[in-house]
Amino acid sequence: MSAECSSYLNADKVLVSGFSCPRTGGDARAVYCCGFQDVKYCCDDPQSFFPYEHSYMWWLSVGALVGLSIAAVVLFAFIITVCVLCYLFISTKPRSKLDTGLSLQMAGKTSC
C-alpha cells in the first residue's frame, strides 16, 4: 500500500515536488500522506491530512496563549484578594483580651 503526496508550495512559496509514501529509507509503516497544504510528510495515521495551511496552527496557539494568560491573571487576582482579606481580618481583631469576670488568685495563702 502506498499513498501519493502531490507537489505543493511550502510556506516560503517554493515548489516541493510530489513523492510516494513510504519514502525510500523512511519508516515502512508511514504509508499515508499527512500534514497540511503547505507541509506534507509520510505518516501511519490515515486521518492526519488537513486541507489548511500550516500557518492556521499559529492562530490556534495565539488563542490558547491569550486564554491561558487571562486565566492566570484571574487566578493571580483571586490569590491577591484572599491575601488582602486575610490580612484585614487579622489586623482588625481586637487586641485586648475580654474580661471573663473571674479574678485569679494564688492558692495556698490564707489569712487567719
**Nearest alpha carbon to residue 84 among 74, 94, 92:** 92
Nearest-angstrom CA–CA distance, 49 and 30:
13
Low-confidence ranges of the chain (pLDDT < 70): 1-2, 51-60, 95-102, 104, 107-112
